[in-house]
Amino acid sequence: MTTPRLTAVEVVGHRGEVADYLDRESSTLRERAYAVARTVTDPELPMLTLGDLGVLRDVEVTDDGEVVLAITPTYSGCPAMAAMRDDLVRSLGEVGIKARVRVQLSPAWSTDWISERGRTALAEAGISPPRHGVATTRHTGPVPITLGVTRRSVTCPQCGSAATELTSEFGPTSCKALYRCTDCLEPFEHVKEI
Amino acid sequence: MTDLHRDPESSEESARSSVGNLPKTASTDVAHQPTHPAPNPAEAHGSVYDGLLEGDAAHWAFGTDFEDPLAGVDTTIPEGVDARALAAYSLALADDALIASHRLAQWTSNAPDLEDDIALANIALDLLGQARLLLARAAAADPSLVPALPEGSPVPPEDALAFFRGDQEFRNVRLVETGNGDFAVTIVKALLFACARMAVLERLVDSRDTVLAAVAAKGVKELTYHRDYAGRWFLTLAQGTEESRRRLEAALRQVWPLYPELFDTHEAERVAAEQGVGVDPATTRDEVDAVLDQVFAVSGVERPEVGRMAAVAGRTGRDGMHTEALSHLLAEMQSVARAHPAGQW
Ligand SMILES: [Zn+2]
């Protein structure tokens, strides 16, 4: 048995309104745990917090008073899961909260879960943020193969030009594609929509 | 951000900016505490490196921690499902991904250019992640599959399955184990494999096993990129130079005999499909053929007319009957783990 818990939608969808939806009875520990957990940063995209990246899916407090955090991998082979878990446990430990981290596989992470603040932080760090709302469009029937170049309206995070071209759909981390700007000629990374 | 020179005041400041415009409450104040105590270089009695040695060793655990990838995931067997059948099916899907991943990883630092080096490594990483989850799923469903290791060995079940089984215990289709050949052979193998696996995973999202369904849902997103990559290179090689086209056509003739095996219904697949946890690959054949025909048509390439590679005494990859290529691959992949069965990594 556990106390009532935040749903993933509440955690992910209403960031910045921590106090609004917490149940008064047992809010203190969860609220504190969530407040710390969501500001822990991603090991590979350190300008993003785990909250803004959308990988922190759930926070609950068990009857034994243990805080259990749920995180979801961005990609199946995400090598940062262990680092995220360790960072979460350590960060909470530093404010006196004993926490455990569990893996939540479903629903699969989507770039649509990256918050507006996260998108802004990516752009400020010179990384083109994923377009919103295209990733979770439900397909009916099999996904078609795309033999032409992927069409995205991606603007250069350096100069703002829309004259950009795809170099490769695969980049230095699983979540990024490589682009270059044909105006300022700078290469840059784009977080690709999944 | 690695900032050893950060003083307590500025780290307070950066923590504050990272929570943006949150209304200031008692709870959000908690987040303003610096999470990484930083050494102060101005202090006469210490150096900036002192901070590296204090605190929690977790700072140094990156990449070295192999805790259960299914930690906290509900691995209860769905009602009416035979656990051994579920495990056997998971193992087959896992081995396809693991061996395909290892072959692709062999291109790292050897690909025609840096972008493709990175692309092939990324695809290999996605498949390795799928393999790890599926091996863990197989081990959770049927622990008797996991090879016994010396008392006290820290090797987790999914690693024991990857590194301590012999070639005849691997259940992958033979297509994924064959050598990389030239870039054209690799592209043809990648295309056929991605098309077939995509079609299976698109159906597996409805598996009654929630773990397989979740792995499939994520896998479909990843495979979409893999398949597009292979399809585009197929087209590029076909429409490139005379030499690239010659190599592509040769590669297609060479790999094609292993294509039909992707759709054979093995016992593990038949039972898993019957129980609503797996997919019978035979049911995907028409759809995969149609996708490939589309690629062939755009590329101006004929579907090859070569027969399939024979089964050996009725047995193929799913039965543990492999080509010599798998033994060589495993010798390389497993040697370090086998030399140190009690090793801590
Ligand atoms: Zn530019």
Q: How far apart are CA A191 and CA A186, in angstroms?
A: 16
Q: Quick one: B286 and B167 in the same domain?
A: yes
Q: How far apart are CA B167 and CA B176, in angstroms?
A: 13
Statement: residue B263 has pLDDT above 50: yes
| pLDDT on residue B76 | 92
Q: Quick one: B298 and B209 in the same domain?
A: yes
Q: Quick one: B10 and B118 in the same domain?
A: no
Chain A 71-90, residues with CB within 8 Å of chain B CB atoms = 73, 75-79, 81-83, 85-87, 89-90
Q: What average pLDDT is seen over chain B?
A: 86
Q: In this structure, is residue B71 part of a structural domain?
A: no
Q: In this structure, is residue A147 part of a structural domain?
A: no
Q: How far apart are CA B228 and CA B232, in angstroms?
A: 6
DSSP per-residue letters across B92-121: HHHHHHHHHHHHHHTTTTTSSSHHHHHHHH
Token pair for residue A70? Answer: 């749920």
**Cβ distance of B63 and A79 shorter than 8 Å:** yes
Q: In this structure, is residue A118 part of a structural domain?
A: no
Q: Quick one: A92 and A17 in the same domain?
A: yes
Query: Residue A6 — φ and ψ, nearest 5°?
Result: -70, 140
What is the number of structural domains in chain A? 2
Q: Which residue of B6, B22, B301 to mutate against A (max A Cβ within 10 Å)?
A: B22
Minimal C-alpha gap between B18 and chain A (Å): 7
CA distances from A189 to A114, A118, A136, A146 (A): 16, 15, 21, 21
Q: What is the number of CB-based contacts under 8 A between chain A and chain B?
A: 180
pLDDT, one tens digit per residue, over B107-130 is: 999 999 999 999 999 999 999 999
Q: In this structure, is residue B94 part of a structural domain?
A: yes
Q: How far apart are CA A112 and CA A194, in angstroms?
A: 8
Chain A 28-67, residues with CB within 8 Å of chain B CB atoms = 28, 31-32, 34-36, 38-41, 43, 46-47, 49
Q: Quick one: B10 and B112 in the same domain?
A: no
pTM above 0.90, yes or no: no
CA atoms B71, B74, B76, B78: torsion sign: negative
Q: Quick one: B90 and B45 in the same domain?
A: no
CB-nearest to A167 from B27, B115, B295 is: B115
| pLDDT on residue B153 | 85
Q: In this structure, is residue B69 part of a structural domain?
A: no
Q: In this structure, is residue B66 part of a structural domain?
A: no
Q: Chunk chain A into consecutive blocks of 10 residues (it has 194) and report each block's average pLDDT, rounded to whole numbers.
A: 41 39 59 93 93 94 92 90 92 92 93 95 95 69 86 91 94 92 96 92
Q: In this structure, is residue A163 part of a structural domain?
A: yes
Residue B25's domain spans which residues? 2-49
Q: Which residues, by Cβ under 5 Å, contact ligand 1, an ion?
A: A 156, 158-159, 161, 181, 183-184
CB-nearest to B118 from A82, A86, A171 is: A171
Q: Quick one: B259 and B121 in the same domain?
A: yes
Angle at B234 between CA B287 and CA B293, to 5 degrees: 30
Domain containing B323 — which CATH number?
1.20.1260.10
| pLDDT on residue A189 | 96
Q: Quick one: A18 and A98 in the same domain?
A: yes
Give the range among A143-147, B86-90, B134-138, B297-301 with minimum mean pLDDT: A143-147
Q: In this structure, is residue B177 part of a structural domain?
A: yes
**Cβ distance of A31 and B27 shorter than 8 Å:** yes
Residue A21's domain spans which residues? 8-103
- Beta strands, E only, chain A: 56-61, 67-71, 99-103, 127-128, 164-168, 176-181, 187-191
Q: Which residue of A22, A39, A112, A122 to mutate against B (max B Cβ within 10 Å)?
A: A39
Q: How far apart are CA B67 and CA B132, in angstroms?
A: 11
Statement: residue B243 has pLDDT above 80: yes
Chain A 99-128, residues with CB within 8 Å of chain B CB atoms = 100-109, 117
Give the range among B25-29, B63-67, B68-72, B227-231 with minimum mean pLDDT: B25-29
Q: Quick one: A98 and A12 in the same domain?
A: yes
ipTM: 0.84
Minimal C-alpha gap between B284 and chain A (Å): 11
What is the number of structural domains in chain B? 2
